[in-house]
């Protein structure tokens, strides 16, 4: 006997219940007002236009929602790492110039031009690839010349830049919109490397004057450069992690008033009393010395929360700090409340962010995990839903 077909109203009710059931208790909150504040503060501090760096899913904050918000707030440029990120932004309605900063792959070059993306040209060979693609399409390409001043990653060495600049300026199929380099040590305000890189970069840029060519946009300062080295601000700055309210390095100084834009939260899903001498989690690496209260939190390294925080990290529950105990699992971990601690199922748990008067910053999480804040943020993957708040709107 076949089951009766559900009525339309019943189907709608089932869909509604499914939507409710699919809302994970673990989620990322992104504060768009904090992003707006940081953009204004960084622009005022630098005194020049800002290229908002939104690569790597906008440092874990969500590529498209963040880019659209930054555009609405007047960001003059966007920067991404890969062609695919640039195309996704164009398809989502981002209209400001977008620079793809990674090294280009020859077969993709035509797509840069078709989608009106600024291309990083890092060698004479790459310049010729772009010229051939532009000529085949009958459209000029917009390019930024990459000068290597000390990273040894991509780009023409500054001391060999003359012929490279001359060839780019003379190209009938390329428009030289910018020239740039990347700072290797600007996160540390005491490093002498930044002054050396600036000197090399300005010397290379001087070749435009030597050949009587217009000077393109010069951009050099990353987050560290914006925070610590005003002489690197030049014609445009490229803040990445600072735009999201996080300092790039323990040595970095908070020279700009920044607000963290991301919070990572979850909820208690299980409570039990663990008796003294009974180990917790894989490997039995942590054992309570007395009877204690332990809760389970539904997030793990499968979501990008680092396993290296096992028995080292902390969370906030009811405004109090409690330690993570035992190894973090793929999908969950355990927290020790102590013999007298209190928590109930569905209590909020803050992994990054503020609860009451207490706060766990991304920088502190990175330090406990033995890594850098960048890795913490970009590691939070799409298994975790993101909710956008502020800016007179709420999105998911």
pLDDT digits (tens, 9 = 90+) for 12-69: 554 444 444 458 899 999 999 999 999 999 999 999 999 999 999 999 999 999 999 9
Same domain for 145 and 41, yes or no, is yes
Alpha-carbon separation of residue 223 from 119, 186, 187, 307, 342 (angstroms)? 22, 8, 7, 28, 41
Same domain for 105 and 176, yes or no, is yes
Instruction: Considering the candidates 55, 146, 244, 305, report the single residue annotated as catalytic.
Output: 55
Comparing CA positions, the residue from 29, 118, 33, 46 lying closest to residue 73 is 33
The two tokens of residue 148 are 């290597």
11 belongs to a structural domain:
no
Same domain for 98 and 147, yes or no, is yes
Same domain for 136 and 275, yes or no, is no
Same domain for 136 and 227, yes or no, is yes
Comparing CA positions, the residue from 308, 331, 315 lying closest to residue 384 is 331
Last residue of a domain, one of 183, 214, 244: 244
Same domain for 175 and 271, yes or no, is no
Same domain for 196 and 308, yes or no, is no
Whether the Cβ atoms of residue 38 and residue 258 lie closer than 8 Å to each other? yes
In whole angstroms, what is the distance from residue 219 CA to residue 206 CA? 14
In whole angstroms, what is the distance from residue 174 CA to residue 132 CA? 10
Query: Across the 396 residues of the chain, what is the mean pLDDT of every consecutive 10-residue run?
Result: 45 45 86 98 98 98 98 98 98 98 92 98 97 98 98 97 98 98 97 98 98 98 98 98 97 97 98 98 98 98 98 98 98 98 96 97 98 98 96 55
Domain that holds residue 324: 262-360
Instruction: Considering the candidates 159, 270, 282, 344, report the single residue annotated as catalytic.
Output: 282
55 is catalytic: yes
Residue 317's CATH number: 2.40.37.10
Comparing CA positions, the residue from 85, 89, 160 lying closest to residue 122 is 160
> Between 63-72 and 32-46, two packed helices, what is the crossing angle to 10 degrees?
50
Q: What is the pLDDT of residue 22?
A: 56
User: How many domains is the chain built from?
Assistant: 2
Q: Which secondary-structure segment (H or E) carries 264?
A: strand 262-267
Same domain for 180 and 320, yes or no, is no
272 belongs to a structural domain:
yes
The SS3 of residue 167 is helix
Last residue of a domain, one of 213, 244, 275: 244
388 belongs to a structural domain:
no
The SS3 of residue 179 is strand
Whether the Cβ atoms of residue 107 and residue 83 lie closer than 8 Å to each other? no
Q: What is the pLDDT of residue 106?
A: 87
Triad 335, 59, 187: Cα angle to 5°: 95
345 belongs to a structural domain:
yes
Same domain for 78 and 193, yes or no, is yes
Whether the Cβ atoms of residue 351 and residue 366 lie closer than 8 Å to each other? no
390 belongs to a structural domain:
no
Q: What is the pLDDT of residue 118?
A: 98
Same domain for 36 and 179, yes or no, is yes
Same domain for 229 and 290, yes or no, is no
27 belongs to a structural domain:
no
301 belongs to a structural domain:
yes
Same domain for 301 and 356, yes or no, is yes
Q: What is the pLDDT of residue 13?
A: 53
370 belongs to a structural domain:
no
282 is catalytic: yes
Q: What is the pLDDT of residue 14?
A: 40
Residue 115's CATH number: 3.20.20.10
Q: Which secondary-structure segment (H or E) carries 56?
A: helix 55-59
In the chain the first and final C-alpha atoms are separated, in Å, by: 42
């Amino acid at each position: 006997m076949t089951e009766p077909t559900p009525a339309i109203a019943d189907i709608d009710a089932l869909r509604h219940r499914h939507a409710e059931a699919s809302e994970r208790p673990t989620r990322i909150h992104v504060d768009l007002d904090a992003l707006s504040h940081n953009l204004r503060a960084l622009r005022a501090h630098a005194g020049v236009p800002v290229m908002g760096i939104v690569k790597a899913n906008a440092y874990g904050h969500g590529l498209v929602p963040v880019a659209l918000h930054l555009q609405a707030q007047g960001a003059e440029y966007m920067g991404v790492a890969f062609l695919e990120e640039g195309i996704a932004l164009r398809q989502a309605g981002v209209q400001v110039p977008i620079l793809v900063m990674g090294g280009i792959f020859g077969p993709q070059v035509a797509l840069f031009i078709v989608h009106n993306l600024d291309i990083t040209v890092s060698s004479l060979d790459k310049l010729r690839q772009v010229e051939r693609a532009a000529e085949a399409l009958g459209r000029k390409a917009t390019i930024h010349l990459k000068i290597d001043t000390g990273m040894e990653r991509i780009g023409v060495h500054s001391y060999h830049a003359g012929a490279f600049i001359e060839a780019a300026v003379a190209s009938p199929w390329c428009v030289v919109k910018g020239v740039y380099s990347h700072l290797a040590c600007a996160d540390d305000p005491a490093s002498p490397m930044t002054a050396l890189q600036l000197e090399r970069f300005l010397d290379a840029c001087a070749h435009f004057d030597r050949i009587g060519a217009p000077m393109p946009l010069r951009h050099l300062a990353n987050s560290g450069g914006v925070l610590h080295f005003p002489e690197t601000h030049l014609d445009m700055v490229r803040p990445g992690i600072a735009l999201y309210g996080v300092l790039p390095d323990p040595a970095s100084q908070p020279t700009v008033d920044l607000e963290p834009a991301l919070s990572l939260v979850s909820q208690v899903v299980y409570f039990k009393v663990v008796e003294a001498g009974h180990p917790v989690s894989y490997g039995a690496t942590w054992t309570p010395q007395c009877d204690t209260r332990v809760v389970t939190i539904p997030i793990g390294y499968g979501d990008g929360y680092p396993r290296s925080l096992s028995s080292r990290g902390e969370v906030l529950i009811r405004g109090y700090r409690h330690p993570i105990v035992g190894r973090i699992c793929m999908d969950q971990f355990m927290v020790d409340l102590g013999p007298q601690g209190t928590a109930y199922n569905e209590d909020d748990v803050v992994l990054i962010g503020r609860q009451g008067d207490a706060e766990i910053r991304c920088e502190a999480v990175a330090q406990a995990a033995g890594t850098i804040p960048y890795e913490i943020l970009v590691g939070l993957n799409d298994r975790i839903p993101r909710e956008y708040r502020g800016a007179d709107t709420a999105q998911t």
